[in-house]
Structure 1
């Protein structure tokens, strides 16, 4: 499926941008109306997510994805994946295994994330 190949490339671009703190690339990949629920239940907008990277409140050192699956759904692609994460958030270390769900849609800008969710599922 061509869409799965496109989304796989977008997921890798997203992973790389998150580690690098590349706000410009993140902005291209995230829909303006993003709704993202973080591991503590906090709901973030696109600007809040970008600001965490821009200000370096969130600094990711490691983000290794595994068990990634693609689920086409009425014009969207739902991606489920797990990740080993090592990061600093607000100068506090964060590490563990997390489950992510991201909903991608295609518009005139290409594939973009419109919604997502992250849950901690274990220790490293």
Structure 2
């Protein structure tokens, strides 16, 4: 396992743990200022919006497992693709799911930081997809 692979997977474990704890201080430190999340039904959140879901209590993540991760490095950028499985709720509505997750990381301040996460449902749209908003 390469040093980059070990570092990226370790960051992934810290990220998943911080999401479960709703730890916005740790999450904020793990991502770049320009961070973006593309959610499983196509919404896009910037860093403040992503963190606010935990600060407001709207998003509660009971479990999050990021596994089967493949890491590739391209200079100062790493792409990590794995499986993201979560038990969560958003505004009291179940948001459980199994997703293919792509993490884009950049070298910043002497280490790796998340610049983006993109989630895609595995096996079709997630059960919380609004009517008429299925896979396109």
Correspondences of 1:48-63 after superposition (within 5 Å): 48-63=49-64
Partner SS, residue 41 of structure 2: coil
- Misfit runs of 4+, over 2 Å: none
Counterpart in the other structure of 2:80:
79
Partner SS, residue 13 of structure 2: helix
In 1, Cα distance between the equivalents of 2:109 and 2:97?
36
Q: How many residue pairs get matched? A: 123
- Quote the offset at 1:54 in angstroms: 1.1
In 2, Cα distance between the equivalents of 1:120 and 1:86?
14
Counterpart in the other structure of 1:10:
11
CA contact (8 A) 2:65 2:86 kept: yes
- Quote the offset at 1:96 in angstroms: 2.1
- The structure with the largest alpha-carbon Rg is 2
Partner SS, residue 12 of structure 1: helix
Partner SS, residue 40 of structure 2: coil
Partner SS, residue 28 of structure 1: helix
In 1, Cα distance between the equivalents of 2:113 and 2:75?
15
**TM-score of the pair, normalised by structure 1:** 0.92
Gaps of 5+ in 2: 127-136
Partner SS, residue 86 of structure 1: strand
CA deviation string 1:49-98 (max 9, x = no partner): 00011111111011122211101123211011102211011110121211
In 2, Cα distance between the equivalents of 1:75 and 1:26?
21
Aligned CA-pair RMSD: 1.4
Flag the structure with higher strand content: 1
In 2, Cα distance between the equivalents of 1:66 and 1:2?
18
Partner SS, residue 111 of structure 1: strand
Gaps of 5+ in 1: none
**TM-score of the pair, normalised by structure 2:** 0.85
